[in-house]
Amino acid sequence: MFNFQKIKYYFPIIPSLPGLYLESKNIRKILPEMKNAPDLEGEIFIGNKDFLNVLFIGESTISGVGVRTNSEGFSGALSKILAEKLQKSIKWKVFAKSGFNVKKIATEIVPKIPKQKADFIFIGIGGNDAFELTHPETFQENLKNLIKNLKEKFPKTPLVFINFPAVEDFPALTPKLKKLMITWVKSLQERMIEVASRENHVYFDPEIITFSSWKDKLNLDLELEELFSDGIHPSKISYQLWAEIVSRFIFEKAKIL
C-alpha cells in the first residue's frame, strides 16, 4: 500500500540526490576494500575460572573492519575493560558482518547464533541504515524485530546498543554528505531511544560520540585522519576510545554492572 507519509519524509533531499549519489559513488571508488576481522572469538583470562560470556552482534564496527583482528577492535577492547573492572575472565564471540543493516542482522545473523549462555550482549547498528537512508519508521520496525528475535533466544540477557557511528568526524565524507548523514543518524537515534525506553533489559547510550572531542579531552597527539582506518571505519585507537565510552555508560550511567 502506498504510504505518502513515508515518501514525504524524503522530499527535502530529493533536489540534492543526484549530486549526493555521485559524491557517494566517488567516495566508494577511492576507499580501500576493508574486510571483516578473521577472529570471531577470544578469551581474556585474569587468573580465575569465573568466566563471563559476552556476545557482540552487528555491522562493520563490530565485525572488526579497520583492524587486523577483533582482539584489536571494539569487541576485544571492551572485553579487556570488562575483565579489568569486574576482575572476571571474559569469553567473547562476534556475530557480525560488514554492510549489514538492522533488517539483515535480525533475519540473517541472529537466527544463526546458537543458543548459549550469554551474560551480556552488545549490539552495534546505525551506520548502514544511515548510509542507505532507511526511513526512520522502517528502521524502528526492523529494530523491534531484532530485539524480539534476540529476546526469544536470550530472554534475560541485557541487550546493550552502543552509540551510533561518529559520522560527524568521517574524513571521507564531503560536507554535503556529512550534513545529510548527521541529520539521518539523529533521526534514527530518536527511534532507537524510543524503542529502548519501552523495552525491559534493553539499553542505549544516546550520547553523540565524536572521536575528535575525545582526542582533545585525552590530549592525544593525533590527526583526525589517524582515528580512521579508511576515512569511514575506526582505527585501533578509535575502537579503544569507543570501548571506553561504552564502559562508562554501562558502569556509571545505566549502572548495569
Q: Got the DSSP string for 17-63? A: HHHHHHHHHHHHHHSPP----S--EEEE--S-S-EEEEEEEESHHHH
In terms of Cα–Cα distance, which of 109, 105, 117, 111 is closest to 157? Answer: 117
- Measured in whole angstroms, the distance separating CA 160 from the mean position of its chain's CA atoms is 10
Q: Which long-range contacts (CB under 8 A, 24 or more apart) does 18-25 make?
A: 19/176, 20/176, 20/177, 20/180, 23/174, 23/176, 23/177, 24/131, 24/177
d(CA 190, CA 140) in angstroms, rounded, equals 9
CB 73 within 8 A of CB 64: yes
CA distances from 101 to 115, 144, 195 (A): 22, 13, 17
User: Average pLDDT, stretch 104-113?
Assistant: 98
**Average pLDDT value for residue range 100-120:** 97
How far apart are alpha carbons 154 and 144 in whole angstroms?
15
Residue 99 confidence (pLDDT) above 80: yes
What is the pTM assigned to this prediction? 0.90
Q: Is the pLDDT of residue 149 over 80?
A: yes
Q: What is the pLDDT of residue 32?
A: 64
Average pLDDT across the chain, whole number = 88
Given pLDDT bands bounded at 50, 70 and 90, which one contains residue 1?
very low
Q: Alpha helices of the chain — where are they, by DSSP H?
A: 4-10, 17-30, 60-63, 74-86, 102-104, 127-131, 136-153, 175-197, 211-217, 236-248
List of domains in the chain: 39-253 (3.40.50.1110)
Q: Which three cell numbers stand for residue 248?
A: 562508562
pLDDT digits (tens, 9 = 90+) for 231-251: 889 999 999 999 999 999 999
